A and B are shown apart, each in its own frame.
Chain A
Amino acid sequence: MSEHNNYQLTHLQQLEAESIFIMREVAAQFGKPALLFSGGKDSIVMVRLAQKAFWPAKLPFPLVHVDTGHNFNETIQFRDDLVKDVGGDLVVASVQEEIDAGRAKEESGLNPSRNRLQIPALLNVIEKNSYDACLGGARRDEEKARAKERFFSHRNSFGEWDPKNQRPELWNLFNGKMDFGEHFRIFPLSNWTEMDVWQYIKLEDISLPSIYFSHNREFVRRNSILLGKCEHITLLDDEKWESGKVRCRTVGDMTCTGMVESVANNIDDIIEEVAAARQTERGGRADDKRSETAMEDRKKEGYF
């Protein structure tokens, strides 16, 4: 006889089961899905969940990386190793190529970021490859506009999101029907929090790029955000490079991913740090600080 009789799942098991269900729905409902892979912890967890969803078969979709050209070197190495390990296909959409081709224009000013320039690169790779569904690792606890986004998020033929006209999602019934040229963004981690992701990484013993852990780095303090030293950041008059032990809470473009001073060099220490944190993980993201609805505005144009 079975040793347990209460048929209860822990909250992480429930979240995992939900995410796997969503991934399988994507494979079943769409003709040409893709998984948007940033090299960050959330997209690494997504790959793990996808492996679970389709084992022993390979992933039924490629990993698509929108490469800003402003990456942490560690992330790219990690990406390539992971792709080899999973045995999947990698498609790289290059922001630099968009700029070279004149379809995107580099920002000028103080804090030039390529964050927004990912939009044309992303929409282009979607159109070129006729992807009809793009899986992303965004979570609703990250940002207030995301708190209202659906698991299956419809995009019109211009890649735009219409937050006021979203399809209702009830029970576990997801409607991925669309017209030609439209597509969906799909967010299997919608109900996960930052803490859930870290606990899952520990539970599943998932490896991460080294920049998530404490390391020595030169950085500059700008608007109370720490930015790592790289060729794309120019110091202002009253700024100077400092050095110290830092780590990333999120991973994105080097020009806007803030770091935190931290000595946490293993998952347990990070979990403790996350639990004690009084700032959200995107609190260090310069791209979100531009206006109250910066995320919603970018998303409406086709951002992740």
Chain B
Amino acid sequence: MSTDTKGYLDMDLLRFTTAGSVDDGKSTLIGRLLYDCKSIFEDQWEAVEQSSKQRGDENVNLALLTDGLRSEREQGITIDVAYRYFATPKRKFIIADTPGHIQYTRNMVTGASTANLAIILIDARNGVIEQTCRHSFIASLLQIQHIVVCVNKMDLVDWSEDQFNKVVSQYKEFASRLDVPHIDFIPISALLGDNVVDRSENMDWYKGSPLLYTLENVYIGNEHNHVDARFPVQWVIRPHSDEYHDFRGYAGRVAGGVFKQGDAVTVLPSGFQSKIKRVHDINGDLEEAFAPMSVALTLEDEIDISRGNMIVKQNNPPESSQQIEAMLVWFSSQSDLEERGRYTIRHTTNEVKCLMKEMKYKVDINTLHKVENDRKVKLNDIARVSLQTSAPIHFDRYRRNRVTGSFVLVDEQTNNTVAAGMIIS
């Protein structure tokens, strides 16, 4: 960890997701990354050591580091997304660690929704299996730009280059159906540490970088849309003080593009036009604001603007429609998707009612095939749907902007979040 403050302040942030089941070495890998980056403390280590012993585990069970809930520890399973943190002098990392079984698809989708990168673990002995495809498909569906495929347990296949190449070509054949621009392959042994932090001495045929170096250096400058200016208004700041008597600041987080003083803007849905008077935070005026900054804007004209409105640049509006086509992941174990059902849709800071007009087809998450004969959309299912909203929403396609292209559905009876959606058009 960097102690030099200046260096620490220059670090950027990479969020990555891992998914996996008990046997594929995921916990071992995360444990090793944390341990080698000195992010596991003595008291944590002792506690895990002691718990492992009590449970009769032969080795220290690193899963106990992340499986914090009583029922997880009792059942020896991961049931939820666990967030883990570590840092090197170059980057801070947030791991969204999720279980890998199909019944935890919603957890994997949740973890992937904020990730810049996904690590996919493959057992070198088994090659690509159903779970590999599922995890990769979720990464692709959620538009994660980088996948790092770690071919693990190389020690059990005699560090064989042939075996590694076989797995790589198997994966590449499958991945041609995915929509992920960058895929790296690294042969590792999480257990022994080969190619995790340090270069393996057992595999000199591998010329690429070890995993940590890859995580530290992967380019993430294009994670946010800096082209289409989008500012969903979150809250209107009205101080009512003598000093700021007429102040009306529009607080929000830039969802795309760049906003500068003097920019000609339109407010949606009213269509009123104005110019940006100031972009500011507590320290004064900012030259510009871009995603994902939290700032406040003031406008030249006094117009009626409230939460849920969107400020955009005049020459580049988003799409506005009441008919939405989307991919939906169903999250509720209590109720299935209802065709003609009504839900509340939460999109950016806006909230409207919507009607589930049509379920077009389901997708088999293991094969990516369309399922046309099964119409029932239950927990963990993925479906293509059409929605009709009670008022226009202002969106970009999810592929173009993950913030303005995503939404969740809330059940009005239970208040639960029942689905997550990615807008196609």
Contacts and interface: CB of A to CB of B under 8 A. Distances in A.
Interface of A: 2, 6-18, 20-21, 24-25, 27-28, 51-58, 140-141, 143-148, 163-164, 166-173, 175, 177-179, 190-191, 193, 195-196, 199, 202-203, 268, 271-272, 275-280, 283, 292-293, 296-297
Given A147-B84, A202-B5, A283-B41, A171 B346 contact: no
A148 B408 contact: no
A195 B82 contact: no
B85 A141 contact: yes
Interface stretch (B197-205, B231-239, B311-319): B231-239
Contacts of A2: 287-288
B134 interface: no
A199 B5 contact: yes
A148 B85 contact: no
A192 B204 CA distance: 38
A170 B347 CA distance: 11
A292 B53 CA distance: 14
Contact of B69 (A20, A145, A199): A145
Interface in B212-232: 221, 224, 226
A268 B287 CA distance: 31
Contacts of B247: 56
Contacts of B163: none
Given A28-B234, A172-B253, A17 B91 contact: no
A57 B237 contact: yes
B219 to A, nearest CB: 11
Contacts of A145: 68-69
Contacts of B113: 170-171
Nearest to B412: A177
B87 interface: yes
A46 B107 CA distance: 29
B282 A51 contact: yes
B43 A148 contact: no
23 contacts: A9-B12, A9-B293, A10-B10, A13-B293, A17-B253, A18-B294, A24-B252, A25-B234, A53-B294, A54-B251, A55-B237, A56-B237, A56-B249, A57-B237, A148-B69, A163-B80, A170-B110, A177-B410, A193-B85, A202-B5, A271-B3, A271-B5, A278-B42
Given A7-B258, A168-B109, A171-B114, 16 more contacts: A11-B92, A17-B253, A24-B252, A53-B251, A55-B282, A55-B296, A56-B237, A163-B80, A164-B71, A173-B407, A175-B346, A177-B415, A193-B92, A195-B8, A278-B42, A292-B51
A147 B82 contact: yes
Interface residues of B, number: 85
Interface centre among A177, A271, A297, by most B CB within 10 Å? A177
Given A10-B12, A21-B253, A280-B43, A166 B402 contact: no
Contacts of A28: 234-235, 307, 349
A147 B8 CA distance: 23
A135 B182 CA distance: 39
A15 B292 CA distance: 10
A170 B235 CA distance: 21
Contacts of B106: 168
A276 B417 CA distance: 42
B349 A268 contact: no
A241 B212 CA distance: 47
A57 B84 contact: no
B346 to A, nearest CB: 5
Given A56-B241, A145-B69, A280-B41, A190 B83 contact: yes
A10 B113 CA distance: 20
A57 B238 contact: yes
B403 interface: yes
A9 B253 CA distance: 13
A271 B247 CA distance: 39
